[in-house]
Amino acid sequence: MLLPFFCWGEVKIARTKSRFGTIDDRFRISRPGKSEEETMSIQKRPITFQGHKKLTEDLDRMIRVERPSVIKEIEIALGHGDLSENAEYTYAKEKQALIETRIRDLQARISACEIIDLSNRPAPDRIVFGCSVKIEDVDTGDRKVYRLLGQDETDIDRGIISVISPLGKALIGKEVDDVVEVKTPNGVREYEVVEIS
């Protein structure tokens, strides 16, 4: 039995598979007769200008520094003779595969980015992308401050969480004094929004 190659709706297509993991993107396939832009669009990823700049700098470094470096390593390893017993060659080829995977991943992320300008936004009364929010654990009274940014900028050590994280999803659109419930590995936690900035 043959299965159709495409189906309508949301399809998850694996881009790269290696022993180190899978990089994939979500594509939306629409019916024939739609414009090319509507036919296959990658889900947009919100990001700040600084986050986008960091991604493009990382991509540039991978292309201009890392890729040529590993090519030189492969050339040197090829000069050592028999490839069947050449561990340096095997290591260099695996490193090259990782670098190429990282480059494709960065290119996919950058192409899906939607840069959000935070410089001219008014003081928010609701939690939106780019806000800093102080929350209080209803049970323990512990207070924490988080900033909600895109998934490519997440850094929990600096208090930056993604808008698509469970806590981020629960907080988006809430106002001061709202209580949100978040499912955690330790059960459901309740947090009260104390301050938005």
Confidence of residue 42 (pLDDT cuts 50, 70, 90): low
Structure confidence at residue 81 as a pLDDT band (50, 70, 90): confident
How many domains does the chain contain in total?
2
Is 192 inside any structural domain?
A: yes
Same domain, 54 and 110: yes
Residue 176 lies in a domain: yes
Looking up residue 100, the CATH number of its domain turns out to be 1.10.287.180
Nearest-angstrom CA–CA distance, 52 and 16? 23
The answer to whether the pTM exceeds 0.85 is: no
Domain that holds residue 88: 9-115
- Tell me the per-residue pLDDT of 152-182, one tens digit each, with 9 for 90 and over: 999 999 999 999 999 999 999 999 999 999 9
- Average pLDDT over every residue of 51-61: 96
Q: What mean pLDDT comes out for the span 107-116? A: 94
The pair phi, psi for residue 15, each rounded to 5°, is -90, -45
| pLDDT, average across residues 75-98 | 88
Residue 106, in any domain of the structure: yes
Give the span between the Cα atoms of 88 and 86, in whole angstroms: 6
* Residues ≥6 apart with Cβ < 8 Å to 52: 110, 113, 115
Last residue of a domain, one of 82, 115, 148: 115
Q: What is the CATH number of the domain that holds 148?
A: 3.10.50.30
Do 26 and 82 have their domain in common?
Answer: yes
Q: Nearest-CA neighbor of 66 among 98, 104, 108, 99?
A: 99
Average pLDDT over residues 124-134: 92
- 116: nearest Cα among 47, 56, 50: 47
Examine the domain organization and report whether 14 and 110 are in the same domain. yes
Per mean pLDDT, which range of 1-15, 42-56, 58-72, 95-109 is the poorest?
1-15
**One domain, residues 96 and 153:** no
67 in a domain, yes or no?
yes
Residue 68 has pLDDT above 80, yes or no: yes
